[in-house]
Amino acid sequence: MKKLVGFFFQGLLYVAPLGLTIYSIVLLFNVIDGLIQKYIEAWIKVHIPGLGILLLFVMITILGMIGGSILGTPIRRVIEKLLERAPLFKLIYSSIRDLLSAFVGKEKKFTQPVLVKVNTISELEKVGFLTQEDLSSLGIKDKVAVYFPHSYNFSGEMFIVPAEHVRALNMAPTEAMKFVVSGGVAMS
C-alpha cells in the first residue's frame, strides 16, 4: 500500500505542473477572450472562439507600432502631463510602466545576473540582478543597486550593496530568474 501511495505522488509530480500550466493558460485565454467577445458579438452577432484574443493582439501590436513611431512621443508626453496632475495615478502608472519595461522594453533592466555576498562572516550569498551601477544621484558612492526576486513568488526586494561584494554570473538572465523563482530547484 505504501508503494502504491508513493507511485501516486510520483505521478502527481509529473501531471500537476503540466495540468496547472494548461489550466492557467486556458483560464487566462477564456477571461481575456470573454471580455472582448461580448463587444464583438454585439457588433457582428457571431461567436468565434479566440477572436477576442486575436483582436487584442492586433490592437496591442498596432499601439506598439504607433508608440514606436514619431506619433508616439507627443501622445506619451500628453498622457504623462495629464498624469502629473493626479499624483496617485502617476505613481501607479509610472511604477507599472517601469516594471514592464524592465522585463520587455527596449531598456531591459534585469540583464545582468549577479551573486552578492550578503554576510561576510558566513559567506552567505544571494542571486540577484544588477539594476543600477551608478548611484551618485542618490549621493551614494562605491555601491550598486541589486534586485533580489523572491522564490516561489512574483515579488522581490532591492538592496544597495558594496560593489566589491557583487560578482557577475555567467548565465542568461532568464535562467537566473528561473533558478531564483524556483528556489534553486530549476537548473538547465
Q: Are residues 7 and 98 in the same domain?
A: yes
Which of 104, 126, 154 marks a domain boundary? 104
Residue 186 inside a domain? The answer is no
Residue 44 inside a domain? The answer is yes
Q: Are residues 92 and 9 in the same domain?
A: yes
At 88, which amino acid appears? L
CA angle at 10 for the pair 5 and 12, rounded to the nearest 5°: 95
Is 93 within 8 Å of 69 (Cβ atoms)?
no
pLDDT score at 183:
67
What average pLDDT does this structure show over 122-141?
A: 84
b/e map 53-78, b = 16+ CB within 10 Å: beeeeeeeeeeeeeeeeeeeeeeeee
pLDDT score at 105:
62
Is 118 within 8 Å of 126 (Cβ atoms)?
yes
Residue 42 inside a domain? The answer is yes
Residue 188 inside a domain? The answer is no
Give the residue among 154, 158, 100, 153 at the shortest CA–CA distance from 129: 158
Q: Are residues 129 and 153 in the same domain?
A: yes
What confidence tens digit (pLDDT) does each residue in 53-74 have?
Answer: 788 788 888 877 777 777 777 8
pLDDT score at 5:
80
Q: How many domains does the structure of the chain reveal?
A: 2
Asked if pLDDT for residue 185 goes beyond 60, the answer is: no
Q: Are residues 45 and 22 in the same domain?
A: yes
pLDDT score at 131:
81
Asked if pLDDT for residue 41 goes beyond 60, the answer is: yes
Asked if pLDDT for residue 12 goes beyond 70, the answer is: yes
What average pLDDT does this structure show over 11-30?
A: 78
Would you place residue 140 in the very low, low, confident or very high pLDDT band (cuts 50, 70, 90)?
confident
Would you place residue 84 in the very low, low, confident or very high pLDDT band (cuts 50, 70, 90)?
confident
Which of 73, 104, 135 marks a domain boundary? 104
Q: Are residues 32 and 72 in the same domain?
A: yes
Residue 52 inside a domain? The answer is yes
Q: Are residues 100 and 127 in the same domain?
A: no
Most confident of 59-73, 81-95, 129-143: 129-143
Residue 126 inside a domain? The answer is yes
Residue whose C-alpha cell reads 505542473 in the numeric block: 17
Which of 104, 139, 160 marks a domain boundary? 104
Query: Could you tell me the residue range of the domain that residue 42 belongs to?
Result: 2-104
Q: What's the grid cell of residue 128?
A: 540577484
pLDDT score at 63:
78
Residue 29 inside a domain? The answer is yes
